[in-house]
């Protein structure tokens, strides 16, 4: 059972990677700062590196969100298995809809729903849930949006139109930082789940940090997922909310990086998707003449609101089925596999690739260098 849960956790980590590629690379792809394939390649490498930087978020999940009982941790690998099913299915549903929802909140929701069915409402540490998950979920996108708004105003105030193409080069740096920061936060959530499973299975002691092999396999899984692209959500975030110019992209990525790194330092299990979306909306408001497509923004916000309860519902149903024993576990696997396959088959009917983003890899546009004026020429 422990081995099955670890495999399922790594599959969730893979879906987290392609679901969240847009957080770092939607804006540089939209502005032409990076070609799509180069962008996802950079994001994959830096997600891999970022996963090794910190483990504070992993400890929040493995030792804080689920309460311990009188005899230590009471959640079982079977319940974690059910929670992961809820998280994976919600991730794939929102992916096929092109909706940038939170993989983190899907994971929390799935675990919460399964834990409530298996151990009751008292199993959830509400103080940790509120302080490390819910409150950051509200404040982080608002803060990032405000910072992005101010940064966009400043960027456009201190530069002239012909100078703003230079922000394309700045975007390469800031989008790379977002990818690195994403690895420090999101990869750790799967590390925390695997560590929690090992503790629940009696393989690892309570309060211990993730083992090196756990960090390594989680880093590889999220990097591979990132490299697959997640083009549907990139299209929504890069083109669906507002038309992004290089100056806006630079401001959005800088604001996103600051918010993610601050949250990682504090151990907050932040939704990087919410932060990135808030930053893009902030730049749309901040640039004079730009318009925000509030209908799309509203769909995204609705996704934020229902992610935890939706994933919790699926996790609870899966946990209820596991109470039937081996038959229930096999039933969960069969149903979940059928849904996953069905989603992928359905997605092929309206496939979105890098060629659908409005900028082909061969059409990457570099800023034109201005010709220097000829000195000493005749005056008219």
* pLDDT tens for each residue of 169-205: 888 888 898 888 888 878 888 898 898 899 888 888 8
The model's confidence at residue 347, banded by pLDDT at 50, 70 and 90, is confident
pLDDT band, very low/low/confident/very high, at 375 (cuts 50, 70, 90): low
The secondary element (H helix, E strand) that includes residue 187 is: helix 167-200
Return the number of other C-beta atoms located less than 10 Å from residue 112's C-beta: 25
Distances (CA, A) of 192 to 42, 57, 74, 100: 25, 7, 16, 23
**Tens of pLDDT, residues 59-115:** 666 566 777 666 556 788 999 999 999 999 999 999 888 888 888 889 889 999 999
Task: Give the span between the Cα atoms of 118 and 316, in whole angstroms.
Answer: 8
Q: Is residue 359 over pLDDT 50?
A: no
Rounded distance, CA 185 to CA 364, Å? 30
Instruction: Write down the pTM of the prediction.
Output: 0.83
- 154-163, 260-269, 277-286: range with lowest mean pLDDT: 260-269
Q: Assign 292 a pLDDT band (cuts: 50, 70, 90).
A: confident
Every domain of the chain and the residues it spans: 2-130+161-243+309-358
- Quote the pLDDT of residue 363: 41
pLDDT of res. 222: 92
Question: Which residues are CB-neighbours of 122 under 8 A, at least 6 positions away?
Answer: 67
Q: What is the reported pLDDT for 150?
A: 92
Q: How far apart are the first and last CA of the chain?
A: 85
Q: Say what the pLDDT of residue 358 is.
A: 54
pLDDT of residue 60: 63
Question: CB count, 10 Å around CB of 24?
Answer: 33
pLDDT at 367: 45
H helix or E strand, kind and range, residue 283: helix 272-286
CA neighbor of 154 nearest in space, from 237, 241, 255? 255
Average pLDDT along the chain: 83
Least confident range of 3-12, 118-127, 355-364: 355-364
What are the tens digits of pLDDT across the range 323-344?
A: 999 999 999 999 999 999 999 9
């Amino acid at each position: 059972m422990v081995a099955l849960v670890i495999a399922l956790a790594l599959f969730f980590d893979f879906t987290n990677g392609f679901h969240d590629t847009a957080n770092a690379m939607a804006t540089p792809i939209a502005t032409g700062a990076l070609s799509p394939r180069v962008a996802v390649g950079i994001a994959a490498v830096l997600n891999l590196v970022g996963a090794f930087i910190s483990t504070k978020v992993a400890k929040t999940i493995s030792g804080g969100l689920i309460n311990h009982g009188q005899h230590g941790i009471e959640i079982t690998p079977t319940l974690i298995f059910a929670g992961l099913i809820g998280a994976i299915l919600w991730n794939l549903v929102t992916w096929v809809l092109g909706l940038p929802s939170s993989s983190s909140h899907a994971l929390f929701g799935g675990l919460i729903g399964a834990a409530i069915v298996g151990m009751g409402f008292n199993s959830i540490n509400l103080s940790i849930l509120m302080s490390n998950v819910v409150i950051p979920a509200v404040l982080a996108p608002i803060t990032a949006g405000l910072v992005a708004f101010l940064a966009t105003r400043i960027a456009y105030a201190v530069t002239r139109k012909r100078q703003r193409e230079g922000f394309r080069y700045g975007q390469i740096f800031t989008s790379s930082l977002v990818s690195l920061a994403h690895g420090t936060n999101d990869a750790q959530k799967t590390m925390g789940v695997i560590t929690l499973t090992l503790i629940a299975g009696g393989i690892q002691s309570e309060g211990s940090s993730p083992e090196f092999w756990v960090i390594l396999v989680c880093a590889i899984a999220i990097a591979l997922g990132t490299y697959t692209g997640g083009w549907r959500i990139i299209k929504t975030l890069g083109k669906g909310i507002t038309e992004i110019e290089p100056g806006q992209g630079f401001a959005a990525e800088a604001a996103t990086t600051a918010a993610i790194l601050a949250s990682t330092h504090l151990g907050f299990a932040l939704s990087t998707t919410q932060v990135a979306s808030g930053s893009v909306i902030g730049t749309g408001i901040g640039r004079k003449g730009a318009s925000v497509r509030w209908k799309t923004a509203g769909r995204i916000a609705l996704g934020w609101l229902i992610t935890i309860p939706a994933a919790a519902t699926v996790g609870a149903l899966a946990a209820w089925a596991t109470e039937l024993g081996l038959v229930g576990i096999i039933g969960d696997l069969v149903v979940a596999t059928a849904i996953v396959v069905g989603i992928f088959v359905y997605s092929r009917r309206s496939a979105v690739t890098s060629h659908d983003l409005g900028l082909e890899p061969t059409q990457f546009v570099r800023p034109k260098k201005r010709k220097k004026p000829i000195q000493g020429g005749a005056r008219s």
